[in-house]
A and B are shown apart, each in its own frame.
Chain A
């Protein structure tokens, strides 16, 4: 067996993830937008797809997907398999009908044989989705200073400021009421006030459910590796964690006429400058060691 030959669906998915063969004009791969060095997110607010076409939403991290129950900012996919084929067909991203992608893989000797060896069948929609999603499931991170502190009782793993930040996160700053769980996002969709129907017009979840009560709700962002995935939010409108924290502290200062904003965020948090810094240091402590220099 040749060294670079994939031995599992996951390894095959890894190759496909960064191969532009899956885009219409063979220039864009999943990795063009989901950049490994930035926790498989993008550094731009909006990522260019084929021919530089821009979508309307920020590229989230493709890491820590295993425990997620819905995918995309509006939750329109409910399994990783279902999610994996959507960007290929999206005209603003890879712009290649999935059937054409399958045909390409079948006429590529390397891929055709790899699929045959791993799945005992020629490339198909199902096996392509399985390969890509198995790769995504392999991108779990659980080795941050925060984990080291909590899991290994290593009191020196995080600073005193980050410890205070964790306490604030759980109390005064109220973040925990939405960012709860192993990836710091529970399964809900919430509206933090980034929809005003005028300047900020992405209605999020309601476009999928057609419920008025879902207007402006989005998937709660995971906070693992958040320090390396700027810019933030579904529209990439905040450039730094500091901007994010300033927003939560007093949302009205930034988007005064938000519609349907969650009642948790009804009053300013009144965080002091030190408290803001503590919160930021806590968020930074969620960065996996592989991204810490």
Chain B
């Protein structure tokens, strides 16, 4: 009986361990849609970024798809490659989650000028599911 009990305890702690393990290693907080509304003299720019579980992402402005690429995340660093520049090249940004539902990007290194201008200092807010 004690053998059985011990086994149960061990199995139980493995379950708890692997649960916390998967939680810390697979950080899924980026998944979903993020939004930023930017005011310009010509009216608002409505930016949406979609990060998918298959490691692809898209950028959308005023409902128009304009950027499409791949990303991966390690700890607080995201690597991104997309069609704004050479798609074989990855730029890196530090990501920081803040204020419950917000996310910011700070450049670590990115020689792609177009992307750097849009992404460095970018702050976006999580969108609620429709």
Q: Which of B12-20, B55-63, B100-108 contacts A (4 or more CB under 8 A)?
A: B55-63
Select A150's contact among B43, B60, B87, B114, beta carbons within 8 Å: B60
CB pair B43 A151 closer than 8 Å: no
Collect the chain A residues with CB atoms within 8 Å of residue B84's CB. Answer: 180
CB pair B58 A182 closer than 8 Å: no
Collect the chain A residues with CB atoms within 8 Å of residue B83's CB. Answer: 170, 176, 180
A171 to B82, CA, bound (A): 11
Chain A 163-191: CB-based contact to B (< 8 A → 1; otherwise 0): 00010001100001000111100100000
Select B61's contact among A67, A146, A176, beta carbons within 8 Å: A67
A105 to B60, CA, bound (A): 40
A150 to B83, CA, bound (A): 14
A146 to B48, CA, bound (A): 16
A171 to B58, CA, bound (A): 17
CB of B71, distance to nearest CB on chain A (Å): 15
Q: Is A239 an interface residue (CB 8 A)?
A: no
A170 to B88, CA, bound (A): 11
Q: Is A260 an interface residue (CB 8 A)?
A: no
**B60 to chain A: closest residue by CB:** A151
Q: Is A137 an interface residue (CB 8 A)?
A: yes
A183 to B63, CA, bound (A): 11
CB pair A180 B42 closer than 8 Å: no
A147 to B66, CA, bound (A): 9
Select A151's contact among B42, B52, B63, B87, beta carbons within 8 Å: B63
CB pair B64 A180 closer than 8 Å: no
CB pair B87 A171 closer than 8 Å: yes
A143 to B60, CA, bound (A): 12
CB pair B62 A137 closer than 8 Å: no
How many A residues face the partner with a CB closer than 8 A? 22
Collect the chain B residues with CB atoms within 8 Å of residue A153's CB. Answer: 50, 52
Q: Is B68 an interface residue (CB 8 A)?
A: yes
From 48 to 96 in chain B, residues with beta carbon under 8 angstroms from any chain A beta carbon are 48, 50, 52, 58, 60-66, 68, 83-84, 87
CB of B39, distance to nearest CB on chain A (Å): 14
A149 to B50, CA, bound (A): 12
A168 to B9, CA, bound (A): 56
**A175 to chain B: closest residue by CB:** B83
A182 to B63, CA, bound (A): 9
Q: Is A142 an interface residue (CB 8 A)?
A: yes
A181 to B58, CA, bound (A): 12
Collect the chain B residues with CB atoms within 8 Å of residue A142's CB. Answer: 62-64
Collect the chain A residues with CB atoms within 8 Å of residue B114's CB. Answer: 180, 186
Select A147's contact among B43, B64, B87, beta carbons within 8 Å: B64
CB pair B42 A150 closer than 8 Å: no
CB pair A137 B58 closer than 8 Å: no
From 130 to 161 in chain A, residues with beta carbon under 8 angstroms from any chain B beta carbon are 137, 140, 142-143, 146-147, 149-151, 153
> Known: A151-B60, A180-B83, A180-B84. Is A146-B65 also a contact (CB below 8 A)?
yes
Collect the chain B residues with CB atoms within 8 Å of residue A151's CB. Answer: 48, 50, 58, 60, 63, 65
Q: B interface vs A, CB < 8 Å?
A: 42-43, 48, 50, 52, 58, 60-66, 68, 83-84, 87, 114
Q: A interface vs B, CB < 8 Å?
A: 66-67, 137, 140, 142-143, 146-147, 149-151, 153, 166, 170-171, 176, 180-183, 186, 224
What are 26 A-B contacts with C-beta separation under 8 Å?
A66-B43, A66-B62, A67-B61, A67-B62, A137-B42, A142-B62, A142-B64, A147-B60, A147-B63, A147-B64, A150-B58, A150-B65, A150-B68, A151-B48, A151-B50, A151-B58, A151-B65, A153-B50, A153-B52, A166-B68, A170-B68, A180-B84, A182-B62, A182-B66, A183-B64, A224-B64
